């Protein structure tokens, strides 16, 4: 039995993909469910699986662009292993040189009809491709940009060009949260099977701030402003293939443990390349943590069409003045970027102050469950 392998549907907005890594080359024996090919799309990488056991044959090459429904190859449960031989490239087209146009002699008058006819006879020059920079291959390496990386680059530029982005900064004393984590981390881990991290505190603080400043949970659609009445928060996750923002949905109804479990599950899927398009769609606000890489301060870029993004940074012991005395406290700089077309400066500062006050007094978030335990 022989069955064709086709490009599957990968979401309404995705119509094509680039052929990525061949996980099983032509001629390889595969078992049902084996990972055989990785397709790179604008948003996620899609892994294809063998429909049944047999020998695989590919009719495409790495880097090819394919569309939904295109045939990529086949699996033959009876055929002998096929040799891996990519199809030969098509022969180069011969460029026909345009015939020379006889020029008028010097001093002769060219009539209008002859001038127009002369223009029509002359072939239009083809646009010259921009030549690639010649590099020293011993010192530099050229490699094609992946579809995901191109999409990320385009979206970042689009964000800067399509919004009136403004960033405001503040700092937060992390002493209270760090004390709570130290006190309850073992109980929390034993009960819920996941560590109590900083991100769940930030998600809860952001949800409360969004309730107080609903413009941050809105977006522009044409000449209208659409306000969301739900709280779906995107959590930026860095991987070797780029930055992904999976969305934790319904955060207002989730416990600390449920938020931490969602984040861990998404981080695992991102590292394994198993995020789906549905994991990334939607989201009303984004949180990104450059502190895990050691960043002390940065200006996060908006994730269109969202109106706000909060940047977390490295916790650093710094001298601060409290009640007239200089003390050492674990401090974190916060950066809030927002779309000034929707959010006014006063509301932007109010939002960030609200987040800061909640984080410095996390008891108001009601960390204790109804059973009186963490």
pLDDT in tens, 345-362: 999 999 999 999 999 999
123 CB contacts (<8 Å, ≥6 apart)?
Answer: 98
Topology alike, domains 2-76 and 149-365:
no
- pTM for the complete prediction? 0.69
Domain boundaries, the chain: 2-76, 149-365
Read off the pLDDT of each residue in 237-254 and give the average, rounded to a whole number.
89
Per residue, the 3-state secondary structure of the chain, as one string, reads CEEEEECCCCCCCCCEEEEEEECCCCCCEECCCCEEEEEECCCCEEEEECCCCEEEEECCCCCCEEECCCEEEEEECCCCCCCCCCCCCCCCCCCCCCCCCCCCCCCCCCCHHHHHHHHHHCCCCCCCCCCCCCCCCCCCCCCCCCHHHHHHHHHHHHHHHHCCEEEEEEEEECHHHHHHHHHHHHHHHHHHCCCCCCHHHHHHHHHHHHHHCHHHHEEEECCEEEECCCCCEEECEEECCEEECCEECCHHHCCHHHHHHHHHHHHHHHHCCCCCHHHHCCCCEEEEEHHHHCCCCCCCCCCCCCCEEEEECCCEEEEEEECCEEEEEEEEEEEEEEECCCCCHHHHHHHHHHHHHHHHCHHHHCCCCCCCCC
pLDDT in tens, 146-170: 777 787 788 888 888 888 999 999 9
pLDDT > 70 in the chain, percent: 82
pLDDT at 370: 39
pLDDT over 60 (residue 372): no
pLDDT at 57: 92
Closest Cα partner for 351 from 314, 322, 313, 309?
309
Read off the pLDDT of each residue in 184-210 and give the average, rounded to a whole number.
95
Lowest mean per-residue pLDDT among 81-95, 232-246, 277-291, 351-365: 81-95
Read off the pLDDT of each residue in 115-127 and give the average, rounded to a whole number.
60
Average pLDDT, the chain: 84
pLDDT over 50 (residue 83): no
Q: Which residue has tokens 């779309």?
A: 339
pLDDT over 90 (residue 259): yes
**Does the structural domain 2-76 have CATH classification 2.40.10.10?**
no
Catalytic amino acids? Answer: 340, 344
pLDDT over 80 (residue 43): no
Across 35-44, 114-123, 230-239, the highest mean pLDDT is recorded for 230-239
pLDDT at 245: 92
pLDDT at 374: 44
172 CB contacts (<8 Å, ≥6 apart)?
Answer: 331, 332, 334, 355, 356, 359, 360
- The CA distance from 257 to 255, in Å, is 5
Query: Would strands 233-235 and 285-289 be described as parallel, antiparallel, or unpaired?
Result: parallel
pLDDT > 90 in the chain, percent: 49
pLDDT at 127: 61
pLDDT at 369: 43
Lowest mean per-residue pLDDT among 109-118, 260-269, 324-333: 109-118
pLDDT at 88: 54
What is the rounded radius of gyration, in angstroms, for the C-alpha atoms of the chain? 29
First to last CA, the chain: 57
Read off the pLDDT of each residue in 277-305 and give the average, rounded to a whole number.
93
- Please state which of the four CATH numbers 3.40.50.720, 3.30.559.10, 3.40.50.150, 3.10.350.10 is assigned to the domain occupying 149-365: 3.30.559.10
pLDDT at 225: 95
pLDDT at 299: 95
């Amino acid at each position: 039995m022989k069955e064709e392998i086709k490009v599957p549907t990968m979401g309404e907005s995705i119509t094509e993909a680039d052929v990525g890594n061949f996980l099983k080359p032509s001629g390889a024996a595969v078992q049902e469910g084996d990972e055989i090919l990785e397709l790179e799309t604008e948003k996620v990488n899609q892994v294809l699986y063998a429909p049944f056991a047999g020998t695989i044959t590919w009719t495409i090459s790495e880097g090819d662009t394919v569309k939904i429904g295109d045939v990529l190859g086949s699996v033959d449960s009876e055929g002998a292993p096929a040799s891996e031989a990519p199809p030969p490239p098509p022969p180069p087209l011969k460029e026909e040189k345009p015939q020379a146009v006889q020029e008028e002699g010097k001093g002769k008058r060219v009539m209008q009809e002859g001038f127009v006819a002369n223009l029509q006879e002359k072939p239009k020059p083809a646009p010259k491709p921009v030549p690639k920079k010649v590099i020293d291959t011993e010192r530099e390496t050229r490699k094609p940009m992946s579809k995901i990386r191109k999409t990320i680059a385009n979206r970042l530029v689009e964000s800067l060009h399509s919004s009136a982005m403004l960033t405001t900064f503040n700092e937060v004393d992390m002493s209270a949260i760090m004390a709570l984590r130290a006190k309850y981390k073992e109980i929390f881990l034993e009960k819920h099977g996941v560590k109590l991290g900083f991100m769940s505190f930030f998600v809860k603080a952001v949800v409360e701030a969004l309730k107080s400043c609903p413009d941050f949970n809105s977006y522009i659609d044409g000449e209208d402003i659409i306000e969301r009445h739900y709280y779906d928060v995107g959590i930026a996750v860095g991987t070797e293939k780029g930055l992904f923002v999976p969305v934790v949905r319904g955060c207002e109804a989730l416990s600390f443990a449920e938020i931490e479990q969602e984040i861990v599950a998404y981080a695992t899927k991102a590292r394994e390349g198993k995020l789906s398009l549905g994991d990334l769609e939607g989201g009303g606000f984004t949180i990104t943590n450059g502190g895990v890489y050691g960043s002390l301060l940065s200006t996060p870029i908006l994730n269109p069409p969202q109106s706000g993004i909060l940047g977390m940074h490295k916790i650093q012991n710094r001298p601060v003045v409290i009640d007239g005395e200089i003390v050492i406290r674990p401090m974190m700089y916060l950066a809030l970027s927002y779309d000034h077309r929707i959010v006014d400066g006063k509301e932007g500062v109010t939002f960030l102050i609200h987040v800061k006050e909640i984080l410095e007094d996390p008891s108001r978030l009601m960390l204790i469950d109804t059973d009186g335990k963490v």
